[in-house]
Amino acid sequence: MSAQHDAGHQEKIDDVRALELYMLSSERGASGNTVENYKRDIESFQVAQAALGRCLISADTADIHTYLSKLVQDGCAPLTRTKHLDALRHFYTFLQAENHRRDDPCTTVISDSKALELFCDMLRSERGASFENTVKNYKRDIESFQVAQEARRRCLIYADTGDIRTYLRKLSQDGFAPRTQARKLSALRQFYGFLQAENYRRDDDDPCTTVKGPRLDRPLPKILSEDQVALLLAAARTRVSDETGGPRAKADAVRLLALVELLYATGLRVSELVKLPLENVIEGGKCIFVRGKGGKERIVPVGEPAEAALGDYLKLRDLHLGKAACSKWLFPSRGEYLSRQRFAQILKQLAIEAGLPPERISPHVLRHAFASHLLANGADLRAVQKMLGHEDISTTQIYTHILDDRLKAVVRNHHPLADGIH
């Protein structure tokens, strides 16, 4: 091995010589087009460095960041920017291997698309499969900001506080609700926190740190009365007693009754209910084991009416398997589980049959009914919190405000001295 490759020794070469050596090395292992493309992209960076009074061979990570930001400002497409970055990675890896550099300035530099991909992978690996819908929502919200940045010829990964504030102002001008704005800002906070943790941004360089989200008034959830839930369940039982539709229609009706009874009896999130594995029904249907948001586990008791409806459904469950020989899901459908969208559609149709406005009925409204009716009948707030799977009791306390409003309405309407009560 020559002296220039001895450990710790670096041969001093200039930019021109570095590029010559790189080209000679690349020509031995790559196609002519690839070599020429790499050369063109590296020379483009060299010109940008020279304009700033900087060298090619001694460029640092900040130089790479500056260059990529300039490409965005010049209207360079994301794929083209990625190709530029790939060329620079290849070049500096070569210089490192040949002992012309100790470090690689591209190590902590990634493209916008790669940053988002790594962020989503992190969420999946740390939070589990039950978090997939949230991952998709995060991705969609961050991509929305990315599109806004591209329109302004700005980067996603190198966004600053001004970019975030400009984006939030635009959302407000476009009529997005404060809660939607807050959700999108939350996604960006998570994203840039990840970039800092992975050293893709400096620890003191979070663009969201000083950004205040929109002021939110906590909305009261839509609630059904106990009588309205009774009407919904009665309509479901009417479907079960209808003998005119044949075995499959009967099985569908029995399944729907089981779904509605379970949702009202347990307060499960709709995604938890439709994705419930059969093996999670325990003690003969008296309890359900749930793995909820973030992989958190809980056991929820099942009341007698729901237990009976579940037992009737299990006798006919195989009719929903379709062509599959078996399924691990409690509510199988076409080889997978019943989708929450399909369940919501069926529930709205049931609402019409019950004489209820379909726009007021959804699986989540039944979850709200479960919580509010328990509290109205004297249940302990902490017990309801545990059954709902709420991490923070303040989330559960929203239902107590509904009860307060109802009690005030009773007093206003019936107390002889109620004029001063608000």
Q: How far apart (Å, rounded) are the C-alpha atoms in residues 140 and 143?
A: 5
Q: Could you read off the pLDDT of 218-245 as tens digits, one per residue? A: 655 667 888 999 999 999 999 999 878 7
Q: How many CB atoms lie within 10 A of CB 344?
A: 15
Q: Indicate if the pLDDT at residue 65 is higher than 50.
A: yes
Cβ atoms of 254 and 313 within 8 Å: the answer is yes
- What the block records as the tokens of 77 is 């497409």
- Say what the pLDDT of residue 403 is: 54
- Residue 39: what pLDDT? 87
CB atoms within 10 A of CB 133: 11
Give CA separation, 375 vs 77, 318, 384, 402, 420, in Å: 56, 37, 8, 10, 27
Among 2.40.128, 2.30.30, 1.10.150, 1.20.1070, what is the CATH number of 3-97?
1.10.150
Measured between its terminal Cα atoms, the distance across the chain in Å is 89
Q: Which CATH code fits 226-413?
A: 1.10.443.10
How many residues are given for the chain?
A: 422
For Cα atoms 391, 144, 191, give the angle at the middle one, nearest 5 degrees: 50
Indicate the average pLDDT of the chain: 82
Whole-structure pTM value: 0.50
Q: pLDDT for 86-136, tens place per residue? A: 888 888 888 888 888 888 888 878 888 889 999 998 888 766 555 678 889
Q: How far apart are CA 113 and CA 142, in angstroms?
A: 11
Predicted local confidence at residue 384, as pLDDT: 76
Residues serving a catalytic function are 269, 293, 364, 367, 390, 399
From-to residues of CATH 1.10.150 in the chain: 3-97, 112-197
Contacts of 345 (CB under 8 A, 6+ apart): none
Domain 112-197, what architecture? Orthogonal Bundle (1.10)
